[in-house]
Amino acid sequence: MSQAIAPDTSSTPTANSLGWTSADLELLPEDGKRYEIIDGELYVTRAPHWKHQTTCGRLFSALDAWSIATKLGATAMGAGVIFGDSDDVIPDVVWVSKEKYEILLDRSGHLRGAPDLAIEVLSAGTENEKRDRELKLKLYSSRGVLECWIADWRSPQIQIYRRENGILKLAVTLFANDTLTSPLLPDFSCPIDQIFT
């Protein structure tokens, strides 16, 4: 379950009147929760469902195997993406082309800009779905991510958003009998049922 937390400037010395920043995240506890900032608002999420993590792992495995074979880029699970002080998020899986990798990766192991592909696996709850389907998709669109995949293991389905006329738009929804491909990933192919089985 995710919840947005507004900064309380009277009791939290690190939060400012403009909202939460990346610097504030450094002072939060290492308690197994996921902390993200979108437009200066802090979102806290509990540890995800087993099937959520399985879906993340299978998407990562398929992309990583392709990346290693082609040497066209790098894949990571749960990597931090810092777009700016007020936008600091953790997509479930990211893929970055080798051209962008060296430019975007900072010394602390975070991406400082848009990956080519961001993948979100939906967590249970209305607020979690809204964060992934609306807030994070809007953020990825405005910051230059080329593709966003939103996977729902309950349905099961994957919605593919691709950049068109400067914004991410829904290109296709894939179901169990479909095959996942992408113009970003030459010759990448993965049956959807392999992700959700």
| Domain segments of the chain as ranges | 2-44, 49-196
Q: Is the distance from CB of 37 to CB of 88 less than 8 angstroms?
A: yes
Spell out the residues 6+ positions from residue 91 whose beta carbon is closer than 8 angstroms to its own: 78, 79, 81, 115, 118, 119, 120, 136
Three-class SS of residue 77?
Answer: strand
Q: Is the distance from CB of 192 to CB of 156 less than 8 angstroms?
A: yes
- Two tokens, residue 63: 């992309």
DSSP one-letter code for 10? T
CATH number of 49-196: 3.90.1570.10
Q: Residue 6 above 50 pLDDT?
A: no
**SS3 letters across 99-121:** HHHHHHECCCCCECCCCCEEEEE
What is the average pLDDT across 90-110?
94
- DSSP codes joined into one string, 23-45: HHHTTS--SS-EEEEETTEEEEE
User: Which range (12-21, 41-50, 57-66, 133-142) has the least confidence?
Assistant: 12-21
What is the average pLDDT across 102-117?
93
| Model pLDDT for residues 132-175, shown as the tens digit of each residue | 999 999 999 999 999 999 999 999 999 999 999 999 999 999 99
Mean pLDDT over each residue of the chain, to the nearest integer: 88
Q: Tell me, what's the pLDDT at 91?
A: 96
What is the average pLDDT across 70-86?
94
